[in-house]
Amino acid sequence: MTEHQAVLARAREVAELAAREAAALARDYFTRDKQVQDKGDSGDLVTVADTLAEEIILAHIRAAFPDHEIRSEETGWHGAPGDWLWLVDPLDGTNNYAIGLPVYGVSITLLYRREPLLGVICDSHLDRLYVAEQGKGAFVDGAPLSIRRCPTVPRMTVGWIQGHAVGKEGRVLALKARLEGSFKRVLRLWAPALQWCMLARGDLDAMVLYNSEGDDLYAGLLLAREAGAAVVDFDGEPFEGMNAEPYLIAAHPDHLPELIALVRDGLKV
């Protein structure tokens, strides 16, 4: 086993354990006083569970990899810059969690030179663990995942993700209207990592993401890719690495031409 492989093997153990513990804490607080507070001016929230879950995850990563850099949802950047970078969202779907909607999770990604190699997502309320490693497939609780091919575009159920700061600008409203008129259903969960899980397991047919870069993105992207999805930008170019303002389409490769055309048409305002 090479040093690189050893890091990934240990990282998987650490991430799986940390995700399970953070998820258990969130479940424990779900029916308690969550101490909800506003975070910024875009409608985002933070709860006591976000903070405590983050502490659990960061403690595990620091103990195992003290020289790795970390970017976490609540407290930002930690450690010296280097080849290895952890992205942590300890409670993806905080807005759902705050109002008692049981759709929330944990997202942990390990990147090497800004390329995601390991993604771990825990559906916290259902205690289901999704894991993907680059080139090794995608799994939920050990069972392999695979995206599906929908018979026709109008029968598709498509996931929609947009960044908190996007708001209701004209291009967004026009694109959403075009998508709503083209598919069976357009779904927005307000828990992006879990939405990527739905794509990976075949319960969504595609995903359209509008400028939503964050600590919950790259584990989901890796999971979808390893389950067979193609991920491209709105120009149809393959998406690799990291991007501060991503505009993405993810689906079975056979569907991409029609989806790219629909998105481009929806942006003509």
Beta-bridge partner residues of 72:
76, 88
> Do 163 and 85 share a structural domain?
no
CB 79, CB 68: distance < 8 Å:
yes
For 59-188, strand residue ranges (E) read: 69-72, 76-78, 84-92, 105-112, 115-123, 128-133, 137-140, 143-144, 157-162, 185-187
Is residue 190 located within the same domain as residue 112?
no
| Unique residue bearing structure tokens 């389950």 | 227
Is 216 assigned to a binding site?
Answer: yes
| 54, 170: one domain | no
Look at residues 116, 144, 172 and tell me which one is the last residue of a structural domain. 144
Read off the pLDDT of residues 29-79 as tens digits, 9 standing for 90 and up. Answer: 999 887 888 776 666 778 899 999 999 999 999 999 999 999 998 899 999
Q: Are 77 and 163 found together in one domain?
A: no
Higher pLDDT, 38 or 264: 264
Cβ-based neighbours of 109, under 8 Å, separated by 6 or more: 86, 87, 88, 116, 118, 119, 120, 215, 218, 219, 222
| 110 or 73, higher pLDDT | 110
Two tokens at 40?
A: 């910024």
Asked if residue 92 belongs to a known ligand binding site, the reply is: yes
Phi first, then psi, for residue 222 (nearest 5°) are: -65, -40
Domain end (from 88, 121, 144): 144
Contact call for residues 8 and 110 (beta carbons, < 8 A): yes
Question: In the listed set 127, 144, 161, which residue is the last one of a domain according to the structure?
Answer: 144
By DSSP bridging, strand 76-78 and strand 69-72 are antiparallel
Share the mean pLDDT of the chain. 94
- Give the model confidence (pLDDT) of 181-209 as tens digits: 999 999 999 999 999 999 999 999 999 99
CATH number at 256 reads 3.40.190.80
pLDDT greater than 90 at residue 103: yes
Report pTM.
0.95
Tell me which residue range forms the domain holding 118: 3-144
| Residue-wise burial string across 35-73, b where 16 or more C-beta atoms lie within 10 A, e elsewhere | ebeebeeeeebbbebbebbbbbbbebbeebbeebbbbbb
Q: What is the full DSSP assignment across 200-223?
A: HTTSSSEEEEES--STTHHHHHHH
Q: What is the pLDDT of residue 42?
A: 60
Same domain, 237 and 120: no
* 37 and 108 together in one domain: yes
Does 213 count as an annotated binding residue? no
Mark whether 10 and 100 lie in a shared domain: yes
- What is the pLDDT at residue 40? 65
* Residue 83 pLDDT exceeds 90: yes
Can you tell me the mean pLDDT for 120-139? 98
Tell me what the mean pLDDT of segment 87-97 comes to: 95
Once rounded to an integer, what is the mean pLDDT over residues 8-31?
97
pLDDT at position 44: 74
Regarding whether 216 and 125 lie in a shared domain, the answer is: no
Give the separation between CA 200 and CA 267, rounded to whole angstroms: 26
What is the chain's length? 269
Residue 187 assigned as binding residue:
no
Question: What pLDDT does 41 receive?
Answer: 61
pLDDT at 33: 83
pLDDT higher for 165 or 216?
216
Any idea what the Cα angle at residue 107 is, between residues 104 and 112, rounded to 5°? 165
Residue 89 assigned ligand-binding role: yes
Residue 269 — very low, low, confident or very high, per pLDDT cuts 50/70/90?
low
Question: Is there a single domain that holds both residue 172 and residue 226?
Answer: yes
Q: Domain tally for the chain?
A: 2
